[in-house]
Chain A
Amino acid sequence: MSAGQPPLPSQPAKPQVKALNCPQCGGAITLRSFQQAVTVVCENCHSILDAKDPALKILQQFQTITGELKPLIPLGTRGKLRGTDYEVIGFQRRSIESDGVRYDWHEYLLFNPYKGFRYLSEYQGHWNDITVCKNLPTVRSSLVSTANYLGENFRHFQTADATTGYVIGEFPWQVRVGERAVVSDYVHPPHLLSCEQSSGETTWSVGEYIYPQEIWKAFNLPGQPPEPVGIFENQPAPSTVNLKTVWAAFIALSIFLLGLMAFTDMVASKDQVFTASYRLAPGPVKGEPSFVTDVFELKGRDSNVEVKTSANVSNSWIYLNYALISQDTGRAWDFGREVSYYYGRDSDGSWTEGSRRDRVIVPAVPAGHYYLRIEPESDASHPDISYTVTVTRDVPVFSFYGWAFLALLVPAALISLKALSFERQRWAESDHPILQSSG
């Protein structure tokens, strides 16, 4: 600085928290948001004062019911919420009435001299972190209106008349007890878009559901936050997976299963190694009832063996005791199959029962030479029955895929049902409840 210059004027003093006294009761009043406060409410006598007036002119006084809820976060509490220091400077209780029942919620006004204002709202233990919208949402009216804010679509939840019932602390706007506003909420969990209309002014704000533990930690509050009651309008669904993802995964895995099925079918060699037809003559069996077939060869790797039986049964049955016997080792696989087919008419119309075909799979049979021992039986009075036995090796088995498909479907369906019931509960409190499907 060159000589002869007057000294630099001192910088304007740092804004300081102002301590004042209530003109009504003399109680201490603190102005925590410096010059931003427009109204301030005496915590002691509930006088609403003009913060812009050096004499703190009284604008309104209100009575409080005894046992009025104290703010869960006391005025003057500082905390670091999502990276920014905030001080709680105002608190108000607002309510809506529905069917003669009053529903209260609480709003906490937070202040940082650089970042400005922010709000926390609390309804039955559910909290939202709220800021005023800088952009204008667009509302599309229909049966259930939607609002779009910065590309995000919100669904109308509820429109109600809100009344301010209790205020303490300071606010950068005019507050009065008894003031009414029409509040419309639009939700897209975990976000909430609110439109408040009062005396010709429309204010939009956007909120995000915030878990109470985060607030307790941010403001270092003692004890435990009150347990949230029910499901709140923008509470995120408990499962973090969304249903689209679940069903997309289900479809992808189902396609994968279909692919595997096609692959199984393709690689199965389906070699028919034996077929022969026999006849079970009517009347009692003469001599040894069992017989053996010609020898057939199973080639290649260990594989399953399918034994198919078809019989021309008609209101009759045939039972076949089978044994698949290895000529090389003498090892035998025993199994019995019944083929029965009945049909008729009764008062309900025609009916059938059973089938003329039967199929059984013998798993993991080694290569080698084999034959079948067959012992057929039927009623003593059975008619003439012809039957054909076919042996095929290495056939595709699809039952596994049925179970696998079911194993995919069941969890996806359960998750969807759970989510649906959560959404039903959420919307039950709205202007647009999801109707229970009849039946």
Chain B
Amino acid sequence: MTQPVSNCPNCGAKIVFQWSSSVQTVCTYCKSILVRIDVDLKKVGQVADLPPDSSPIQLNTEGIYHNKAFVVAGRILYEYEQGGWNEWHIVMNDGTSAWLSDAQNEFAVSFAVPGQSLPTASQIQVGQQYTWKNQTYTVTVITEAHYKGVEGELPFQYWDKTDVTFVDLRSQTGKFATLDYSDEQPALYLGEFVEFDDLKLKNLRQFEGW
């Protein structure tokens, strides 16, 4: 995999992209949010310190999903009234990108699925059913979340959010869907729940006393 190298326009530190298609990254030194425009990097903002969280996953955690190795390249951290969760941006060894979400140690892997017809946020109610790609999903929860920050590389620009709406749907076969209403155009992610042990994660975070 190519690893484009450039320098932070803010502090000059070396910026290495793990994934050639990353659109945004955060300088690990000065915490500038950098967006790639052609070959140049442009500073668009600055991340405040991320609130402490206790996901066992961190940047550069490695794992295996469906026989493909992946590495954690970035994340978005959200909070809602029942706690926080992380959407870890993972990059597969075949160059595709996906999301490993960790909500109170419930892990799921999902992929962006563009080109589907999606309901608007106001149309959605718990218990409704939607079918995408021949799989029926039931709306289980609508979450009003607060964007808390980003870290590492992301496949899109994402940094100046506040409140965002997510709709979680589940199937009867371990599959799940998320509708993300943080942009004008809703985005659909389809995936499945995964067992922690099945991901064979390496380079995990350490916990004091564990």
Which A residues have a C-beta under 8 Å from some C-beta of B?
5-6, 8-9, 11-12, 14-17, 33-36, 38, 52, 85, 112-117, 132, 134-138, 148, 150, 172-174, 200-202
Contacts and interface: CB of A to CB of B under 8 A. Distances in A.
8 contacts: A34-B54, A35-B53, A36-B54, A113-B210, A115-B196, A117-B105, A136-B140, A137-B172
The 5 closest A-B pairs by CB, nearest first: A116-B105, A34-B54, A134-B193, A16-B208, A35-B54
Contacts of B106: 116, 132, 134
Contacts of B58: 11-12
Contacts of A150: 174
B207 A135 contact: no
B207 A172 contact: no
Contact of B193 (A5, A6, A135): A135
Contacts of A137: 172
B56 A14 contact: no
B14 interface: yes
B114 interface: no
Interface in B159-197: 170-174, 193, 196
B205 interface: yes
Interface of B: 11, 13-14, 28-29, 51-54, 56, 58, 81-84, 104-106, 126, 138, 140-141, 170-174, 193, 196, 204-210
Given A9-B28, A15-B54, A35-B84, 20 more contacts: A5-B13, A14-B207, A34-B54, A35-B53, A36-B83, A36-B105, A113-B54, A113-B105, A113-B210, A114-B204, A117-B105, A132-B106, A134-B174, A135-B171, A135-B174, A136-B138, A136-B171, A136-B172, A174-B82, A200-B126
Given A5-B14, A17-B209, A34-B207, A135 B81 contact: no
A9 B206 CA distance: 17
A8 B52 CA distance: 20
Contacts of A15: 52, 54, 205, 207-208
Nearest to B142: A200
A89 B205 CA distance: 21
B105 A114 contact: yes
A345 B209 CA distance: 95
A140 to B, nearest CB: 12
Contacts of A200: 126
B44 to A, nearest CB: 21
Nearest to A2: B14
